[in-house]
Amino acid sequence: MLTDLSITNIAIIDSLHLSFGRGLTMLTGETGAGKSIIIDAVGLIMGGRASADLIRSGEEEASVEALFDVGERQELRQLLEESGFECDGELLIKRSISRAGKNRIFINGNMATLSLLTDISRRLINIYGQHESQTLLRPDNQLLLLDTFAGCIPLREKFSEIHGRLQVLKRRLEHLDEEEREAARRLDLLSFQSEEIAAAGLKAGEDTDLEEERQLLANAEKLGGVSGEAFERLYGGEGAILGQLRRISSSIAEIASIDQTLSETAASIEGAYLQLEDAAISLRDYSSRIESDPASLQQTDDRLDQIGRLKKKYGTTIEEILGYKQRIDSELETLADQQLDRQQLETECQHLAAEMETCGAELTARRSAAAAELKKSLEAEVHQLAMKNAIIEAGLTPLTEPRSTGYERVEFLFSPNPGETPRPLAKVASGGELSRLMLAIKQVLPEGDVPTLVFDEVDTGIGGATSELVGAKLKNVAGSQQVLCITHLPQVAAFADHHLQVEKQVLNGRTATTVIALDDDSRTGEIARMLGGTTITDTTRTHAREMIAAAQARS
C-alpha cells in the first residue's frame, strides 16, 4: 500500500509530505485548494505524462516521491529483482521533471525506465476519475472483470495454456515447411554441383600434367629448332664438333702411346666424345618427335579453362574439388533419404484445436450467462448511486481468430440516460460516473489485486441519502484495499478512517497548498464546514458529530 507521498514544486504545491494508513482516507477542502493536484502527482508516479506545465511558477524542477509497503507483494518484489532493483519490503519511486526536459525516474534510488515504472505502478495503484490511468476503460481489464465475476479464471487459464501450446505447434509446422523448402532448394543446388563435377571427369594431378603438356605444345617450334640445330652442330653438319673431337682424340691417343703421362688425358677426351655422341643422338631423336600441333594446344587450353572454372567454385586444386564432391554426394544421400514426418505434429495440432474449441465454447457460454448476471448486479448498484436510469452491460464480440483469452472480446457498454443506446464506456462516461461505476464493480467484486484505489469525483452530481450510500460502499471496499477519496460531501467524508484537509494559503506573497491530518475534534470542524459553509454554529457541529457517529456505526 501507499504509505508516504512527497510533492515538490508541482503547480501551487511548494513542498508537501503526506502519510497514509490502511482503510479509507478522505481528502477534503475548498475548491481550488489543490486536491486534484495531489491526484495528478500520483498520476506521475503511475507513469502519466510529465509536462513542464506542472512545474511551479518560478521553479526549474519538480518532483514526486511515493513510498510503498510491498512486503506482501511477492510477485512485485520478484519483478523488481529480475529487473535489477533490490527490494527489502519498501519501494520508493521518485519522478522528477524539469523545464530543460531532463525528466528522470528512480526506483529505490536507481534510475529506471518509464515502461518499467508503468509496469510496476499498475500493480500498486488504480485511479478512478478524469485521469489517463483509468483501468476500467481498457477492454482487457473489462474482460478480466467479467471472467472474475463468472468464476471462470481457471477455465480461462486452461484455454490460454491450450492456445499457447497450439501456437507453438503451429510455429513448428511453419518452421518444418520452411525446412522442407530449404531442403528442396539445397537438393537442387547440390545435385547440379555434383553433376557438373562428375561431367568434368577430373583425375588427381591432371592439371599438373596438362600444364606441362601445354608448355611443350606452346613451345614446340622452339624446342624442335633448338634441339635440331644442336644435333647438326654436334654431329651432322660440316665441321661438326664430334668430328673435330674425334680427330683430337686420335691425335692425343697417338702421342699418349709415346708419353704415358698423357694416358688419362686421352681417356678423358675419349669419354667426352662418347658422352657428346650420346647427347647428339638424344637431340636427334627428340627433334624428330617434336611437331607443332595447334589443335592439341587448343584442346589443352580448353581443358585447363574448364578445370579453372571448377576451381573457382569448388576448390583450389583438383583434389579439393573431388573432396568437395564426396561431401556433397554424402549430403545428397542424407537429403534424399530424409523423411520430414509432419504427421505427428499435424495430429497433435488437431487434438489441441478440438480441445481448445471445447474449452472455448464453455468459456463463451459461461461469459454469456455471467454477462447477463453482471448487468443486473451492476445496474442494481449504480441505480443506488444517483444513476437511476443507467444501463451497464458487458458486450461480447466474436473474434475472427481466437486469442489467448478466448473466442471473443468484451467491452462494457454504458448509457447514463433513458432512451440512449449503450455505447463503449470510454466514449460516454464522465469522470464521476466512472468513479461510481468502479465503486459499483468493487461491491460486486470486492476482492482486488491492486492494493491502493484512488477515487476522484465519485460524489459528482449526488447528495442526500445517496451520498451516505456512496460513503458506506467506499468503506466496504476499504475493508480489503487501501482507498483514497477526494470528496466535497460531508456524508461521504464522515466514513473516513483517516481525514486529510487540503488548504490553500498565501505565504510570503505566494500561494501554497498545505495538508493537515485531522484529529477527532478538527475533523468535526471540517465536517461542520462542509455542512454549513463559512459560518459554523454549535448546531452545525452537533450535526457533524452525529453524522460521524452514524457513519461509524453503519460501517
Type of residue found at 171: R
Residue 410 lies in a domain: no
Q: Which of 417, 437, 414 is nearest to 134 (CA)?
A: 437
Supply 218's cell numbers.
606452346
- Distance (Å, whole) CA 363 – CA 367: 6
Whether residue 450 lies inside any domain: the answer is no
Angstrom distance (rounded) from CA 45 to CA 470: 27
Which of 69, 56, 68, 60 is closest to 7 using CA atoms? 56
- What pLDDT score was predicted for residue 132? 44
Residue type, 174: E
Count of the separate structural domains present in the chain: 2
Residue 337: the pLDDT is 55
Closest CA to 434 of 392, 471, 389: 392
Q: What is the distance between the terminal CA atoms of the chain, rounded to a whole angstrom?
A: 22
The residue range of the domain holding 272 is 201-337
Digit-coded pLDDT (tens) for 57-80: 888 899 999 999 988 788 888 888
Residue 77 lies in a domain: yes
Question: Could you identify the residue written with the cell 484529529?
Answer: 519
Q: 121 and 17: one domain?
A: yes
- Binned at pLDDT 50, 70 and 90, residue 363 comes out as very high
Across 206-215, 325-334, 342-351, least confident range: 206-215
CATH number of 517's domain: 3.40.50.300
What is the Cα–Cα distance from 525 to 505, expressed in whole angstroms?
Answer: 18
**What is the predicted pLDDT for the residue at 68?**
93
Which of 304, 337, 370 is the C-terminal boundary of a domain?
A: 337
Other Cβ atoms less than 10 A from the Cβ of 148: the count is 19
Chain-centroid distance of CA 31 in Å reads 45
Quick one: pLDDT at residue 64?
Answer: 95
**85-89, 142-146, 172-176, 438-442: which has the highest mean pLDDT?**
142-146
Look at residue 433 and tell me if it is in a domain.
no
CB-CB neighbours of 107 under 10 Å: 22
Q: pLDDT tens digits for 117-155?
A: 988 888 898 887 654 445 677 888 889 889 989 999 999
d(CA 87, CA 439): 32
Give the rounded percent of residues in the chain with a pLDDT score beyond 90. 28
In a domain, 98, yes or no: yes
DSSP three-state, residue 454: strand
Average pLDDT of the segment spanning 375-393: 88
In a domain, 503, yes or no: yes
Q: Are residues 212 and 328 in the same domain?
A: yes
pLDDT over threshold 60, residue 40: yes
436 domain-assigned: no
Cα dihedral 210/211/212/215 (nearest 10)? 120
Q: What is the pLDDT of residue 432?
A: 75
Residue 97 lies in a domain: yes
Identify whether the C-beta of residue 490 lies closer than 8 Å to the C-beta of residue 531. yes
Q: Among 36-40, 238-242, 353-357, 410-414, where is mean pLDDT lowest? A: 238-242
**Average of per-residue pLDDT values in the chain:** 85
For residue 340, pLDDT beyond 70: no
Single out the residue in 294, 313, 337 at which a domain terminates: 337
For the chain, the helix, strand and coil percentages under 3-state DSSP, each to the nearest 5: 55, 20, 25
